[in-house]
Structure 1
């Protein structure tokens, strides 16, 4: 699938994250990755090993076992990362439900 803009990709991304538990696992993964990144800056560069392990590990778990789809990271790694941080920010500020409503409907699962 080709996307012309990040906004267009965002709608697809939200379709791939239709279940609240999928989004929660992503939140945990992103928070863990940020934590280990900060630990690498403050203590030892060895903590960098855990950044992708936790960030992608929690997210991919949610896609394979909860959402039952293929992570968008495989086809669109850069846009997926940007959208993951956007979703993290919306969840952190309590605006995720508002964003789902803004999209016009609850995102639905899109299977290849």
Structure 2
């Protein structure tokens, strides 16, 4: 898959959602992130700072395999780490709000316009 370039986060967002087109991938992200947050919060409450490592370890440790095994793509984090972190937070907020179907629609629209490789049927870069 070729590296995508974006001018803004708003342009990146539909791509990010498309890289999470399957509901199972989104739910693995949500579960891993919330579990990592819960363990980190517990650690902070108990004065055990080392528990803060749970967030990236569990969050990424569950999310990245979901891309390889479920989506069959590379995590957007590899090319866009800051925007991906923001995208993950926005995706999780959307899911918690009960709007997962909205994410599925955004992903389907982006993929229909750009194809699974993001090149719209054209050879990328």
Is TM more than 0.5 here? Answer: yes
Partner of 1:48: 52
Partner of 2:6: 3
Partner of 1:79: 83
Q: Could you tell me how far apart the structure 1 residues matched to 2:21 and 2:74 are?
A: 13
Equivalent pair of 2:32/2:59 in contact (CA under 8 Å): yes
Distance 1:75 1:95, change over 3 A: same
Q: Could you tell me how far apart the structure 1 residues matched to 2:85 and 2:64 are?
A: 13
C-alpha distance after superposition, 1:26-65 (max 9, x if no partner): 0111111211221221011121122111000111011011
Q: Could you tell me how far apart the structure 1 residues matched to 2:100 and 2:59 are?
A: 19
* Unaligned stretches of 5+ residues in structure 1: none
Equivalent pair of 2:43/2:51 in contact (CA under 8 Å): yes
Query: Looking at CA atoms only, which structure, 1 or 2, has the larger radius of gyration?
Result: 2
Q: Could you tell me how far apart the structure 2 residues matched to 1:52 and 1:104 are?
A: 25
Q: Could you tell me how far apart the structure 2 residues matched to 1:48 and 1:29 are?
A: 14
Q: Could you tell me how far apart the structure 2 residues matched to 1:104 and 1:25 are?
A: 17
How many residues end up aligned between the 2 structures?
111
Superposition CA RMSD, Å: 1.9
Equivalent pair of 1:26/1:59 in contact (CA under 8 Å): yes
* Unaligned stretches of 5+ residues in structure 2: 119-125
Q: Could you tell me the TM-score, scaled by structure 1's length?
A: 0.88
Local SS of the residue matching 1:8 = helix
C-alpha distance after superposition, 1:3-28 (max 9, x if no partner): 11111101110110110100010011
Deviates more, 1:57-66 or 1:35-44: 35-44
Asked whether 1:13 is paired with 2:37, we answer no
Displacement of 1:104: 8.3
